[in-house]
Amino acid sequence: METEIQQTGARPLSKGADSETGRQRTLRRTAIVVGILVALVAVGWAFQQRGKAVPAAQQGTALPEVTVATPLIRDLEARLGALGQFSAVNSVELRAQVGGPLVGIHFKDGDVVQKGALLFTIESRPYDIRLSQAKAQLETAKARQVLAESEFQRAQALERTSAGSVQNLEQRSSDRQVAQAAVAEARSAVDDAQFDVDRCRIVAPFTGRIGTHLVSIGNLVSGSRAASSPTTLLATLVSLDPVYFDFDISEADYQLLSTYRGTSGSKSGTKSAALANTVEIALGTERSYSRKGVLDFINNVLDRSSGTIRARATVANPDYRITPGEFARVRLALDQPAPTMLVPDRAVLPDQSQFIVLTVTPDGTVAPKIVQVGDVRDGLRVIRGGLAANDRVIIGGIPYAAPGSKVNVKAGEIAPNAQGDDADAKRKANG
């Protein structure tokens, strides 16, 4: 009995001990969590105090630094620059006007052929036969004409002596006219047949460079005198001297060019107008504008989609160096040299349909200015308006200069680059 009571009393004592152990575990866990939170708060407070402890002088040195310089002033002539493409003055597709087998090709692909040079030969025997027939018919018609003329003269003599009738004379006169018409018709047939024979030999209509032959010997070509009928294209031929140079002018440049050329009549015949009609051209591999041309055509309407107008100059090409389709740079001198403002081309930033230059005010604030630009001279962009000579233009550190922000400035210098014009032209050519 006592043993049972002891065992029964021991059980409540074991449950109390387990409860006490669970409470201790809970208290330990709570203490750990509170400690972690206190540590995080302490770390955050320390970082906050550390940021507040940065001196104001040290914060001031965080302003971005840019390089500035005043615009470069040089005496330059007013001119326009553009990128254009050469085209042939004369271009022709050589097509057959008569049909038959091709029996001869008398040139090498890509040769410069002279005017009148034989290029292709088409089998002419069928056309020679028709020409011989036409000549025979002409001889027959001539013989009949001689007979009709003789009979007419005989009838005329008989009528004068009253031995012949007037009706007989009229009949002979009609026969003579019919014979004359037959001779004229036979001559036309001979000319027609001779035309076909001549077209069996295709010659160069002008001096130029011929392309590759598109039909080989032995092929049957189709020909026709009518432009609407299908014919065989044999080759193409383009003239080389002179050549056209086609380029586009913006609306603003066109207005400036019109002013100097005197299209309104105010400056017609002046020295400026003569300068504006002369163009200088540099090929893709040339750095100097050594070739001259004459501006002889400006289109009569502006392209609404691009805001440009097409212009054309004629350029001499005696050495055949220029090939139609080739790209080149052109510039037009408009007036005599005058003081011109220049800044680095990289300092001029496009903004939709206008251009801006970033400047720095005396208090160190970035201020953008809208400018009117011209062409590139030795790597420097011509500024026609919108900028003063004493403005401090940002030429370095542009990505770090936001309009309206404060910056630290460092003095710089604007210097020309001899290869700048070539670099600008290549940039335009690459889009």
What is the DSSP code string of 158-186? HHHTTSS-HHHHHHHHHHHHHHHHHHHHH
Is 28 part of any domain?
A: no
Comparing 105-109, 271-275, 302-306, 381-385, the range with the smallest average pLDDT is 271-275
- Alpha-carbon distance of 145 to 141, in angstroms, equals 6
pLDDT band, very low/low/confident/very high, at 11 (cuts 50, 70, 90): very low
Domain count, the chain: 3
Position 90 scores a pLDDT of 92
CB 69 within 8 A of CB 346: no
Position 62 scores a pLDDT of 75
Both 250 and 181 in one domain: the answer is no
Please state the rounded mean pLDDT for residues 59-88.
82
Both 221 and 291 in one domain: the answer is no
Boundary-marking domain end, from 298, 333, 368: 333
- 141-153 as b/e, with b when 16 or more CB fall inside 10 Å? beebbeebeebbe
Both 226 and 350 in one domain: the answer is no
pTM greater than the 0.85 cutoff:
no
Is 43 part of any domain?
A: no
Instruction: Output the six-digit token pair for 250.
Output: 């913006």
For the cut 60, the answer to whether the pLDDT of residue 349 exceeds it is yes
Q: How far is CA 151 from CA 147, 160, 168, 169, 171, in A?
A: 6, 14, 10, 9, 10
Both 365 and 403 in one domain: the answer is yes
Greater confidence (293 vs 175) lies with: 293
Both 159 and 106 in one domain: the answer is yes
CATH, residue 397: 2.40.420.20
Both 188 and 283 in one domain: the answer is no
> What strands lie across the sheet with 118-122, from one edge to the other?
201-203, 118-122, 100-105, 220-221
pLDDT band, very low/low/confident/very high, at 49 (cuts 50, 70, 90): low
Instruction: Output the six-digit token pair for 368.
Output: 């953008």
Boundary-marking domain end, from 184, 212, 239: 239
For β-strands 201-203 and 65-69, DSSP reports them as unpaired
CATH, residue 214: 2.40.50.100
CB 39 within 8 A of CB 303: no
Both 317 and 215 in one domain: the answer is no
For the chain, what is the largest distance between any 2 Cα atoms, rounded to a whole number of angstroms? 195
Is 362 part of any domain?
A: yes
Instruction: Output the six-digit token pair for 47.
Output: 């970082």
CATH, residue 267: 2.40.30.170
Tell which residue, 372, 375, 353, has the closest CA to residue 424. Answer: 375
The residue range of the domain holding 343 is 66-74+339-420
Both 376 and 408 in one domain: the answer is yes
- Alpha-carbon distance of 403 to 351, in angstroms, equals 13
Position 259 scores a pLDDT of 75
| Phi (first) and psi of residue 425, to 5 degrees | -65, -40
Greater confidence (52 vs 42) lies with: 42
Both 252 and 321 in one domain: the answer is yes
For the cut 50, the answer to whether the pLDDT of residue 376 exceeds it is yes
Is 179 part of any domain?
A: yes
What number of other Cβ atoms are within 10 A of residue 164's Cβ? 16
Boundary-marking domain end, from 272, 303, 333: 333
